[in-house]
Amino acid sequence: MASRPKVLLYEPIHEEGTRLLAERCELLYADSLEERRLLELVRDVSAILIRFNGKVTRTIMEAAPELRVIGRHGVGLENVDLLSAKERNIQVVYTPQANAVSVAEHFLGLTLALAKHIPQADQAVREGRWHVRHELVSRELNGKTLGILGLGRIGLQTARLCRMGLDMRILYFDVREYPEAEKSLGAKRVGIQELFSQADLVAVHLPLVAQTHHLIDRKLLRLMKPTAYIVNLARGPIWKEEDLAEALQEGWIAGAASDVFEQEPPPPEHPLLRAPNFLATPHSAAHTEESLIRMSLVAADILRVLEGKAPEFPVPEEVYMQYGGESR
């Protein structure tokens, strides 16, 4: 009987995806994400399934002569050396439609918590400070201007929620034009400086590539209204955390929230964690039951490739060009 292909999972995934793989493959789980250990584990694997942690580097690919497919449980691809995979004819698949709803809803939750001072109000009630109801004056979001950095699937879902649910005006900054969104949502494509100066609420949904690293700095933050908020559900290094902390400490903007940090987890003394009007969540925006199931089903595309079939969600050519490869 022919041996079953081996799949190395960097981290466990939802049982639905696990079950799908286990029916046809031998599953291996990484006991460490250090490259030295991964080099030992990949010697005879046909597939790698990676979540957010760890990397699939050129060195790892070179140590895996049987490797045919890399599956990314999620959307961001900065932890996979795409160009090296392409050079070795290793298919890379991902889950671009899996977490848009979950992340967009998380954005709305953080935004409402900021504008309505919900964490502060909850703490006050628990401490018996009922009188803060006269001090915590909140703001309405209805009819405000939303500026979206990156109008991909998550950005578009965020725009729909805010336009349809809160009658927001939509501005977006992106390397691509989105005529359908412009037609259906009245979205307007603008330059990044115009977006920061006009938006009441900025949503960060950009991929982390060379061009977006530390894109948001004090110059852009200084353009924002003092009543505006900014929320980052993309990647921590897209903004300069020290500049944002300064903006919050000095009151340039009304508040900020983030699901991501440059170092994860952030150290307890991180300046943003001491900043006023800042909310944080532990890179959990996509971690709904529904989204975790959908992301785990990258397993289906891994199996398609191993069976010689075309995958449903291969990484598109323009994404390879966007992310580029590792420095060698």
Known catalytic residues are 235, 264, 283
Could you tell me which residues come within 8 angstroms of residue 128 by beta carbon, excluding any fewer than 6 positions away? none
Q: What is the DSSP letter of 273?
A: G
> How far does Cα 184 stand from its chain's mean position?
25
| Order of strands, sheet of 145-149, starting from the edge strand that comes earlier in the sequence | 188-189, 169-173, 145-149, 201-204, 229-232, 255-258, 278-280
Torsions phi, psi of 54, nearest 5?
80, 175
Q: State the residue for tokens 């949904």.
A: 205
> How far does Cα 213 stand from its chain's mean position?
14
What is the radius of gyration, based on Cα positions, of the chain?
A: 21
Sign of CA dihedral 55, 50, 305, 152: negative
